[in-house]
Structure 1
Amino acid sequence: MEALLNRYRNLLQSVKTDFKRSHYQKINWSGRGICILGARGTGKSTLMLQYLKENLPLDKSLYLSLDDLYFKQNSLVELAERFYHLGGRNLLLDEVHKYEDWQTAVKNIYDFYPDLKLIISGSSILELQKSQADLSRRLVYFELPELSFREYLSLKLKINLEIYSFDTLLNDHQKITYQIQELIPNLMLEFESYKKTGAYPFFLEGERDYTSKINQLINVIIDYDLPEGKDISTSTQAKLKKLLYLLSTSVPFSPNITKLAEKTETTRPRLLEMLHMLEVSKLIKNLRSSSKGISMMNKPDKIYLSNTNLIYALALENQNQGNIRETFFYNQLENSGASLTTAKNGDFLIDNKFEFEIGGKNKNFNQIANIPDSFVAADEMLHGIGNKIPLYLFGFLY
């Protein structure tokens, strides 16, 4: 146990607290049982360590990564008992899904020590989501998404940038764009960089290896994380990767599931199941109409990769700009808490009220003419006018 303590304290010294994700403030850290969900690479471990460093007594707190070889031969419950009897009152468990029968261990620790604070996290979202039925009375679940454009700028340029509400952007976008431009003169260049290499905090490690790291991330999710939560074959794993590539090179469209199944050499029901797996793994987003329930066997109206970085990493030279623009908009809006469904005339309906068409700077209102609460989100445009708003501005919602 002493070796684990030394490892955790050395790790804590390297954690910086000058930048925090906006979702840090959304977590109710006062809760006794907290589970942080999120795709690989979004910064869950850093978030936990930042909270520990600034808010918890170090002599009564312990951070553990359960992929440590120590837990191959030692019991987590027994370690928690020793820690508690030595005065420990805050236990943070990262990569919790790596521990065999972790749900039972977490349940026992929570029940055995009523004054022990428990914060857990992991990268296998499918495996963690399966636990919600058993642990929902004990844990409160929070989700950490990819970096917003605002967070990317704040982290890269070391500046504080304001978060704007959706309504504020709609009403005051012309004033806001001038305020942002004063702080970031090369704003449009930064936006292009973000779309290619800005969704994950590890962009700070350098852009040269960023694309290979994205591909490694995809492989780990499909080859290791998914099998931990669902019994899938290696042939299915290969088909999932092929499906991701097909989606990365597509234009925004209503998918023909039968043809997509043929291209991936699988059946229609199996393809729908594969789309569901990729969605819960946070690799794709399936857009549906407001009348459809979220069901594995419901055909999505549109399919997008989860963020634009995935498109650039997979499609290489075959990216479609319309796909990139809509993916950015969908990603930033949904991660900010908005509800997105298909629109009757435009590309997206936001919160069952606002209809949006997405395009370049020359995009007009023809498709959404005379529709109340309709807007255009336009790329390649620094300042907006009226109901035509610069696309990048929707990256300041969180």
Structure 2
Amino acid sequence: MDSNVVEVLYNIYHRKLSKVSVEYKRYLYENINWTSRLIGIKGSRGVGKTTLLLQYIKCTFADVDNAFYISLDDLWFKTHSLMELVEYVYTHGVTHLFLDEVHRYPDWSQILKNIYDSYSDLYLVYTGSSMLEIDNSKVDLSRRQTVYVMSGLSFREYLAFEGVIFLAPLSLDDLVSRHVATAMEITSSIKILPLFEKYLKNGYYPFYKEAGEDYLLRLQEVASLVIDADLPAVEEIEYSTVQKAKKMLMILAERVPFTPNISQLCKELETTRDVGLKLLYALERAALLKLLNSEIKSYKSLSKPEKVYLNNTNLMYALTAKVDKGNLRETFFFNQVNAAYSAIMPQKGDFLVDGKYLFEVGGKGKTFEQIKDIADSFLAVDDVECGHKNRIPLWMFGLLY
């Protein structure tokens, strides 16, 4: 391959690298075992996967041309192949290859396997849509790779991103046992509730800073792009089904938290129950919805969820005309807790976490009436800075990752 053909890609790589800030790194940065030969990072659009790759390169390589970054949705690949590029950069000294947006490249899993097997001393890190079903792909990469999932900013990360306060993540055990002392320490130096309100509307996706007042509009565009581009790339579905997915998202956005009547929902979408359930779970994998089940779910057997939420509170403000306060609280709790722990719908209360802790979510006037006399039961209470005994401030559940 002629060096002039690749030069444009090097220029793009160097330009992106020069502009990336390393001032703040997401929680996942320190959790990744970067010594693995094949690393996959899944996550929804806008959570910072590209920034994470570039930050690692910038902080790790004295000679940045020992590494190479490329996004696989680049038009360059319309006339050239990835294997051609890999051969060129490998023979020109690259030891670490960083591939962004792999789901946009045909037969990506087979190509990754070929690269891994053919270049035994080349390290690969790739990012892809949160929708990627890596375990069920046609090519078995499980023995070769380590896969990480990247969520949006937690409330803890938002506080650090804003330069307000830097806190270590809390374990759930520490939260329920030490929440009073922890809350007193944090709130002694900052007014936490106004910051929490801002986060709920404008703090989950790191691009909120650059987007400014256009953030919610940009978020609408991201949601649309996920369905228009990522869904067909991963699921190989037809245009009419893409339109049904968009309609489903907007129907549910107006009704969440939604206890599904699948038959009625599918009737509105003019589709079958099987297709309707597949779309529902596809929108969850796309990180646009969150489905609450009464048991740990399996995507291999799609059952009707107990409740449907939007994935996060920022999406609520972007996609709905009027945000319900009770729904906002439950969505925040589910989103933050479920990023680090399993959460299912119990017979009593709102959420059972890790099969151990029972939570009811509500305002500061919430009582234990619904979950009284149940062991390890707690209230997640909004509009309070500090809690008491088994009453835990809702905002503190944003400190878990």
Q: TM-score, normalised by structure 2?
A: 0.93
The offset of 1:293, in angstroms, is 4.6
Q: Distance in 2 between matches of 1:277 and 1:206?
A: 27
Contact 1:249 1:320 in 2 (8 A): no
Structure 1 runs (4+) greater than 6 angstroms displaced: none
Contact 2:103 2:230 in 1 (8 A): no
Contact 2:349 2:370 in 1 (8 A): yes
The offset of 1:251, in angstroms, is 4.8
**1:250 corresponds to which letter in structure 2?**
R
Query: Are 1:144 and 2:147 an aligned pair?
Result: no
| SS at structure 2 position matched to 1:201 | coil
Q: Distance in 2 between matches of 1:231 and 1:388?
A: 47
Contact 1:38 1:123 in 2 (8 A): yes
Query: Are 1:54 and 2:59 an aligned pair?
Result: yes
Query: Are 1:325 and 2:329 an aligned pair?
Result: yes
Q: Distance in 1 between matches of 2:347 and 2:98?
A: 46
Query: Are 1:382 and 2:388 an aligned pair?
Result: no
Q: Distance in 1 between matches of 2:274 and 2:137?
A: 25
Q: CA RMSD in A?
A: 1.9
The offset of 1:250, in angstroms, is 2.4
Query: Are 1:368 and 2:371 an aligned pair?
Result: yes
Q: Distance in 1 between matches of 2:397 and 2:59?
A: 31
Q: Distance in 2 between matches of 1:291 and 1:74?
A: 43
**1:280 corresponds to which letter in structure 2?**
R
The offset of 1:67, in angstroms, is 1.8
Residue of structure 2 equivalent to 1:15? 20
**2:176 corresponds to which letter in structure 1?**
L
Q: Distance in 2 between matches of 1:127 and 1:74?
A: 26
The offset of 1:279, in angstroms, is 1.4
Residue of structure 2 equivalent to 1:81? 87
Query: Are 1:96 and 2:102 an aligned pair?
Result: yes
Contact 2:39 2:147 in 1 (8 A): yes
- CA deviations 1:45-77 (Å, max 9, x no partner) are 011111111123413111111222222111211
Q: Distance in 2 between matches of 1:345 and 1:127?
A: 33
| SS at structure 2 position matched to 1:370 | coil
Residue of structure 1 equivalent to 2:185? 179
Residue of structure 1 equivalent to 2:208? 203
Name stretches of at least 5 consecutive residues in structure 2 with no aligned partner.
1-5
The offset of 1:300, in angstroms, is 0.7
Contact 1:359 1:378 in 2 (8 A): yes
Contact 1:261 1:268 in 2 (8 A): yes
Query: Are 1:397 and 2:369 an aligned pair?
Result: no
Q: Distance in 1 between matches of 2:335 and 2:113?
A: 34
1:219–1:227 Cα change, 3 Å? same
Residue of structure 2 equivalent to 1:36? 41
- Match for residue 281 of structure 1 among 255, 277, 286: 286
**2:289 corresponds to which letter in structure 1?**
I
The offset of 1:376, in angstroms, is 0.4
The offset of 1:139, in angstroms, is 1.9
Residue of structure 1 equivalent to 2:175? 169
Contact 1:197 1:207 in 2 (8 A): no
Contact 2:262 2:276 in 1 (8 A): yes
Contact 2:110 2:139 in 1 (8 A): no
Q: Distance in 2 between matches of 1:224 and 1:120?
A: 18
Q: Taking every aligned residue pair, what percent have the same amino acid on both sides?
A: 46
Contact 1:122 1:128 in 2 (8 A): no
Q: Distance in 1 between matches of 2:316 and 2:297?
A: 27
1:345–1:331 Cα change, 3 Å? same
Q: TM-score, normalised by structure 1?
A: 0.94
Q: Distance in 1 between matches of 2:168 and 2:110?
A: 42
Q: Distance in 2 between matches of 1:295 and 1:100?
A: 24
Q: Distance in 2 between matches of 1:91 and 1:291?
A: 36
1:132–1:358 Cα change, 3 Å? farther
Residue of structure 1 equivalent to 2:77? 71
Query: Are 1:27 and 2:32 an aligned pair?
Result: yes
The offset of 1:114, in angstroms, is 0.3
| SS at structure 2 position matched to 1:304 | strand
The offset of 1:247, in angstroms, is 2.2
Residue of structure 1 equivalent to 2:3? none
Contact 2:291 2:305 in 1 (8 A): yes
Contact 2:176 2:390 in 1 (8 A): yes
The offset of 1:13, in angstroms, is 1.5
Query: Are 1:347 and 2:378 an aligned pair?
Result: no
Contact 1:91 1:118 in 2 (8 A): yes
- CA deviations 1:327-367 (Å, max 9, x no partner) are 110110111x2111111210000111111000111110000
1:264–1:369 Cα change, 3 Å? same
Q: Distance in 1 between matches of 2:320 and 2:345?
A: 25
- CA deviations 1:163-198 (Å, max 9, x no partner) are 11111111111111122223422x211111111111
